[in-house]
Amino acid sequence: MREQRFNLAHRLIHWAIAFTTLFLLLTILLRMGWMNKDHVGNIIQQNLNKSNVHINTKAAAVIGKAVRKPMWNWHILAGYTLIGLYLIRMALTAVQGIAYKSSFSKKTKIKEKFQAWVYIVFYSLLAISLLTGFMIQNGPKSLQHNMELIHVQSLYYVVTFIVLHIGGVMLAEFGPEKGIISKIVSGDKT
């Protein structure tokens, strides 16, 4: 039911997922950069040294990890939010139908099959990311390391999807689907 892809429910869930995902990416990038435990620990260690207080690098990293903990709690909360949004998205899709043409139909053009597969792969990988994130927080400790190994890979497919999605939207906007950006913001006016 492609004609329903710009209704209010679809638009709200689209933007809620988009902003939640961007927030999650921000927390990841902060953790990798400015809020890296070793980086923060190094700053703490240097400033304590100025006051003639000396701690080793490992202790400084532990403090650095504690400093970033509140920010990381926001990552976890956003992850739970994304689980809820994902379930709503799947329920909406079950009720309204998919917003793209079937990738299995012989009548579907190559470009449309590619679009469909991008979404299928994205939502499949998103399910894996959400499950592994949930298991890191709530699963048995024996699985935590393996879940983290899988979950960390989320960064790569999410960034890839964002690039493909924005690129595809721009191609559509300046090509056959002029007005697609305004439709996802304010709805289909046709």
Give me the DSSP letters along 23-51: HHHHHHHHHHTTT-HHHHHHHHHHHHHHT
Number of other residues whose CB lies within 10 A of the CB of residue 189: 8
Q: Which of 78, 74, 46 is nearest to 60 (CA)?
A: 46
Q: Which tens digit of pLDDT belongs to each residue from 63-72?
A: 888 988 999 9
- The answer to whether 89 and 119 are in contact (CB under 8 A) is no
Provide the whole-model pTM: 0.85
What per-residue confidence (pLDDT) applies to 114?
87
Please report, for the chain, the start and end positions of each structural domain, with discontinuous segments joined by +.
1-99, 102-190
Q: What would the mean pLDDT of 13-26 be, rounded to a whole number?
A: 95
What is the distance, to the nearest Å, from the Cα of residue 67 to the centroid of all Cα atoms in its chain?
Answer: 24
Q: How high is the pLDDT of residue 1?
A: 42
Q: pLDDT tens digits, residue range 33-86?
A: 888 888 888 888 899 989 998 899 898 888 888 988 999 999 999 999 999 999
